[in-house]
């Protein structure tokens, strides 16, 4: 069934299905034009083709003598030196049989010459050069060896890299159109975050999410902390000017959990309620129409590890899509468990951990501590996927994983 024909909200769906839905709704933010020198790491907004060959002429690969290969067939041979060409200069003479042009690295090959012999392989005076060995044609850098006119030098949706910056410079292109950085509004909820009493806790989620959002090239905007009172979250949602909203906390069923109702009161339409995985299963995805723009709203659990798991599995790819990245999905790969995992998994599980490839195999070590623990993510670079109804897992078990 096509996504467009589905009835919403979808309940307890898998990460991959949630991603498809999110990606479909997530249109890239607008573009801006930057000097290429300031665009490193930004996302290219339009394909760019080379208009000129690089190098623009056949050029010398080293300091030496440009000559006609056939003249060296009966080497040793002595040729008359008729000119000297440095890089940046243009040869005036044509090489004819019996002559050579002294040439420096990068200088254009003179007309008539078809190869270059290095200084080190010659004996020379100002007026002549002796070549000791027969030299084949083609000791030169042909025009267009690096880039051919008409070839693609930057792809829409890719990052501006050092190679792309270099290729643009080689074409004389000084400015590049890139996607704007998506602005991600972050809302924390919970009286315990505001209280100064002994039940107070510090806001882990805000800091962790701000960092995670920055890491993938978007801009976090902290919108504030809402108390567990009716109307408090609505105020923050209404004040927001962002391309996406992420909230944490207040997603339970108690009479102090207002997050979902608050988004709906602001006009957001619920598309997904909960994912069928642990941790991170407490989740909602809504769409909020704002000034003709569809703002994606992601409501995560207050538990830091649950929030981070859902963020890396689903929200991070969604932000990358919003930022125009062609490769917006988390890369998937097979991993091998480096240690046994003792718990059974009646529901699909996302195991946080790190991958080590130094043995030549992709070994995964789980760093899960508990759903309140953001330190599980310290040094983590993967989420291994344990299928539902899995027994405890033995060392060496192969799993799929997302690279985060």
List of residues 6+ apart from 237 with CB closer than 8 A: 187, 223, 245, 262, 263, 266, 268, 288, 297
- Nearest approach, Cβ of 248 to Mg ion (angstroms)? 9
Reference 13, options 291, 272, 188; nearest CA is: 272
* CA distance linking residue 382 with residue 352, whole number of Å: 6
Q: Residue 140 or 284: which CB sits closer to Mg ion?
A: 284
Here's the x/- map for Mg ion, 274-313, by CB under 5 A: it reads as ----------------------------x-----------
| From 37-45, 83-91, 153-161, 250-258, span contacting Mg ion (CB under 5 A) | 250-258
Name the strand (E) or helix (H) holding 32: strand 31-35
Question: CA separation (Å) from 74 to 99, 114, 133?
Answer: 15, 17, 8
Contact in structure between 304 and 8 (CB atoms under 8 Å): no
Q: Residue 107 or 186: which CB sits closer to ligand AMP?
A: 186
* CA distance linking residue 394 with residue 298, whole number of Å: 35
**Token pair 């405890």 in the structure block, residue:** 392
- Nearest approach, Cβ of 254 to Mg ion (angstroms)? 9
Q: Residue 302 or 317: which CB sits closer to ligand AMP?
A: 302
| Count of helix runs (H) and strand runs (E) in the chain | 8, 23
Return the residue of 249, 318, 324, 353 that touches Mg ion, per CB under 5 A: 249
List of residues 6+ apart from 203 with CB closer than 8 A: 188, 193, 225
Q: Residue 248 or 345: which CB sits closer to Mg ion?
A: 248
Q: Which does 201 bind (CB under 5 to 8 A by kind): Mg ion, ligand AMP, none?
A: ligand AMP
Could you tell me where the DSSP H helices lie in 259-365? 259-265, 304-310, 316-322
Q: Residue 192 or 356: which CB sits closer to ligand AMP?
A: 192
Residues binding ligand AMP (CB under 6 A): 188, 190, 192-193, 201, 203-206, 248-252, 301-304
Q: Which residue is nearest to ligand AMP (CB)?
A: 302
Question: Cβ-count burial of 347 within 10 angstroms (0-12 exposed, 13-18 middle, 19+ buried)?
Answer: middle
Q: Residue 375 or 397: which CB sits closer to ligand AMP?
A: 375
Instruction: Read off the tokens for 253.
Output: 């069923």
- Nearest approach, Cβ of 249 to Mg ion (angstroms)? 4
- Nearest approach, Cβ of 228 to Mg ion (angstroms)? 6
Instruction: Read off the tokens for 289.
Output: 């129409």
Here's the x/- map for Mg ion, 153-192, by CB under 5 A: it reads as -------------------------------------x--
- Nearest approach, Cβ of 371 to ligand AMP (angstroms)? 8
Q: Residue 144 or 302: which CB sits closer to Mg ion?
A: 302
- Nearest approach, Cβ of 226 to Mg ion (angstroms)? 10
Binding site for Mg ion (CB under 5 A): 190, 249-250, 302
């Amino acid at each position: 069934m096509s996504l467009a024909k589905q009835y919403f909200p979808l309940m307890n769906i898998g990460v991959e299905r949630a991603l498809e839905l999110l990606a479909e709704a997530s249109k890239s933010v607008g573009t801006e034009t930057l000097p290429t020198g300031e665009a490193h790491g930004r996302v290219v907004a339009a394909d760019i083709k080379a208009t000129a060959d690089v190098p623009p002429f056949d050029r010398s690969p080293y300091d030496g003598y440009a000559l006609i290969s056939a003249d060296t067939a009966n080497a040793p041979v002595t040729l008359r030196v008729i000119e000297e060409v440095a890089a940046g200069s243009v040869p005036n003479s044509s090489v004819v049989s019996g002559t050579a042009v002294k040439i420096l690295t990068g200088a254009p090959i003179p007309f008539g010459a078809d190869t270059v012999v290095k200084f080190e392989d010659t004996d020379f005076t100002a007026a002549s050069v002796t070549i000791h060995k027969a030299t084949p044609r083609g000791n030169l850098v042909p025009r267009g060896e690096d880039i051919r006119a008409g070839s693609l030098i930057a792809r829409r949706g890719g990052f501006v890299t050092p190679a792309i910056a270099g290729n643009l410079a080689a074409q004389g292109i000084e400015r590049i159109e890139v996607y704007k950085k998506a602005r991600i509004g972050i809302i924390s909820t919970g009286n315990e975050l505001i209280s100064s009493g002994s039940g107070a806790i510090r806001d882990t989620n805000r800091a962790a999410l701000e960092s995670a959002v920055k890491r993938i090239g978007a801009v976090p905007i902290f919108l504030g902390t809402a108390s567990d009172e009716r109307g408090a979250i609505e105020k923050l949602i209404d004040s927001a000017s962002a391309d996406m909203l992420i909230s944490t906390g207040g997603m339970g069923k108690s009479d102090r959990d207002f997050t979902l109702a608050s988004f709906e009161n602001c006009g957001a339409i619920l598309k997904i309620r909960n994912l069928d995985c642990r941790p991170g299963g407490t989740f909602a995805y809504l769409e909020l129409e704002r000034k003709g723009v569809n703002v994606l709203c992601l409501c995560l659990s207050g538990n830091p590890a649950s929030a981070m798991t859902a963020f890396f599995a689903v929200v991070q790819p969604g932000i990358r899509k919003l930022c125009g990245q062609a490769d917006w999905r988390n890369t998937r790969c097979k991993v091998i468990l480096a240690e046994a995992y003792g718990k059974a998994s009646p529901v699909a599980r996302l195991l946080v951990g790190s991958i080590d490839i130094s043995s030549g195999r992709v070994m995964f070590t789980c760093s899960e501590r508990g759903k309140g623990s953001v330190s599980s993510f310290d040094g983590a670079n993967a989420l291994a996927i344990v299928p539902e109804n899995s027994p405890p897992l033995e060392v060496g078990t192969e799993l799929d994983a997302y690279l985060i």
